[in-house]
Structure 1
Amino acid sequence: MFPYRPGFTPCGCYYSPYCQGGWLWRYGATEPADSSRLPHQQRLTFVLVHGSWADAHFWDGVAAALRSKGHIVHTPEYAGHGKDPNKDVTHAMITKSVVDYITRLNLHDIILVGHSFGGSVIQKVAEQVPDRIRRLVFWDAFVLKDGESVADELPPQTRQGFEQLRAVSGNDTIMLPFPLFRDLFVNTATLEVAKRMYAGVAPEPAKPLFEKLDLKAFYALTTPRSYVYFYQDNVLPQGEGFGWNPHMSTRLGQFRLIVGDGDHMTDTITRPAILAQKIYEAGRD
């Protein structure tokens, strides 16, 4: 849910400062060493959809890790994010961005992955292109009930805080204060890593978070689905009618559960290969 960009190097690589000696993820790399590639029948096509306070670069390390195993990976950008200066967007506009990306590239048999707010996006995308989707994967992501908004699933204190930030923004956006970002979104990160990640956070269009969605068509689908849950994710409290798993995951009906030890954002930067493995386990046959 954040647009963190590691330092870009002249050679076209992204530098991660979080491993000794530093390592390089080559942005867009598609030709891994043969020794690490999977048998042809196990190679999958992933479409990774980011969440709020993010852009497509959120997935850079994870995408590189998946590509290194021979998978095809797409990371579409959606309205109101990345280089789009227009913050006056709707949930339908965001959904259309992803649907248009999938249809323009004529993608089929995809593993459609949504993180956080991106869960509500892939719910709506699945309604429009169900024949192109092999499996849906939700990673600590919202699975909304018919007629709900993302804001409806927030604890009252968090929702009230977002409403206050929205009201004072002047352009109907929400900017996360650093203390909230640090404690809820990157709670396992070191302070240095948290600050580096926060430096890339941009104001989020507020309207899509509060729009109630008609999801009757989604709940009529039979598309296979999985849920990836990280135990230390602190964005939503567990219990008392909130939380990722089982509160939201069980709304999927029959689903595959994959668990990991991490928080809401940090592992995309510090342990992308581990996160990529979890997503693969969620998506494979």
Structure 2
Amino acid sequence: MSEFVLVAGAWLGSWAWDEVVPELRAAGHGTHALTLSGVAERQGVPAGQQTHVQDIVSEVARLGLRDVVLVGHSYAGIPVGQAAERIGDRLARVVFVDSEVPVDGGSFAAGWWQGEERFEESLAENDGFWAPLTAEEYDGQGLSSEQIARIAAGATPHPGASLTEPAVLERSLGELRVTYVKCLLDGPEPNEDVADLLKSERWRLVEMDTGHWPMFSQPHELARILLDQGR
């Protein structure tokens, strides 16, 4: 049996996986949803990107986990990708769920669609935090009004330092065993960094016909995909 460590993206805590966790546990797998420093119930804890990497590494070590499937959604793919190479032979596979991937020396902000400068300006305008989306900004992502209300109610500001600090990688992510889950309503193609990594024979692509938050919009389908990785 595998040990799943689930990390949601910006603004979200472990609660984001509430509809996924029971199905993984029912199949006999260890399942550990993790809240990163500075968000949700851990608001107020100072956090940069390497803090988030250490959150994940420390949880694996604290629980003595082996055969680990690290799951990173959205922003969390960046610390998850770094943590994956640091837990060594404890790692079985990484699953990136419609996520960013770390690039050595690069940051989340550097890839922002409006440009790094504009992203950093938005953080400065919000006291160094990335403000959660409004309910209207979740439109077109396959979410019901009830699901949108749940996400919006639970989201908390995300610490900006984790988004602007550079990633640190010692080897190519292409060497890891990876499944990349692309959510098609958020764009039909993976970004250039992911597309390049998908050329590795150790990477594979799985598509979901939903938006960027499948743990809310299609939790049962996402759980089935994850269970396939734990076999």
- Same fold at TM > 0.5: yes
Q: 1:220 to 1:117 in 2, by over 3 A?
A: closer
- Number of aligned residue pairs: 229
Matched, 1:132 2:90: yes
* Matching residue within 65, 79, 87 for 1:107: 65
Matched, 1:181 2:137: yes
Question: Whole-Å Cα distance in 1 between the matches of residues 181 and 65 of structure 2?
Answer: 23
Question: Whole-Å Cα distance in 2 between the matches of residues 207 and 179 of structure 1?
Answer: 25
Tell me the equivalent position of 2:38: 80
Larger Rg: 1
Tell me the equivalent position of 1:256: 204
Question: Whole-Å Cα distance in 2 between the matches of residues 214 and 96 of structure 1?
Answer: 12
Q: Give the alignment's TM-score, normalised by structure 2.
A: 0.88
Question: Whole-Å Cα distance in 2 between the matches of residues 152 and 269 of structure 1?
Answer: 28
Residues 235-278 of structure 1: per-residue CA shift (max 9 Å, x gap): xxx6xxxx63565243252311111111111x323431111111
Q: Give the alignment's TM-score, normalised by structure 1.
A: 0.73
> Could you tell me how far 1:221 is from its partner in structure 2?
7.3
Matched, 1:51 2:9: yes
Matched, 1:277 2:224: yes
Tell me the equivalent position of 2:147: 193
Matched, 1:224 2:172: no
Whether the aligned pair in 2 keeps the contact of 1:229 and 1:245 (CA below 8 Å) is: no
Q: 1:214 to 1:67 in 2, by over 3 A?
A: same
Higher relative helix content: 2
Tell me the equivalent position of 2:102: 144
TM-align CA RMSD:
2.3
Matched, 1:268 2:215: yes
**Which ranges of 4 or more aligned residues in structure 1 deviate by more than 6 Å?**
none
Question: Whole-Å Cα distance in 1 between the matches of residues 68 and 179 of structure 2?
Answer: 13
Higher relative contact order (CA 8 A, sep 6+): 2
Residues 2-57 of structure 1: per-residue CA shift (max 9 Å, x gap): xxxxxxxxxxxxxxxxxxxxxxxxxxxxxxxxxxxxxxxxx322111111111011
Equivalent AA in structure 2 for residue 164 of structure 1: E
Question: Whole-Å Cα distance in 1 between the matches of residues 33 and 59 of structure 2?
Answer: 10
Question: Whole-Å Cα distance in 2 between the matches of residues 75 and 179 of structure 1?
Answer: 24
Q: 1:270 to 1:86 in 2, by over 3 A?
A: same
Question: Whole-Å Cα distance in 2 between the matches of residues 280 and 181 of structure 1?
Answer: 30
> Could you tell me how far 1:207 is from its partner in structure 2?
1.0
Matched, 1:71 2:29: yes
User: How many percent of aligned residue pairs carry the same amino acid?
Assistant: 28
> Could you tell me how far 1:116 is from its partner in structure 2?
0.9
Equivalent AA in structure 2 for residue 139 of structure 1: V
SS at match of 2:72: strand
Whether the aligned pair in 1 keeps the contact of 2:108 and 2:163 (CA below 8 Å) is: yes
Q: Which runs of 5+ in 2 are unaligned?
A: none
SS at match of 1:107: coil
Residues 206-240 of structure 1: per-residue CA shift (max 9 Å, x gap): 1111111222x141773311111111125xxx6xx
SS at match of 2:92: strand
Matched, 1:210 2:169: no
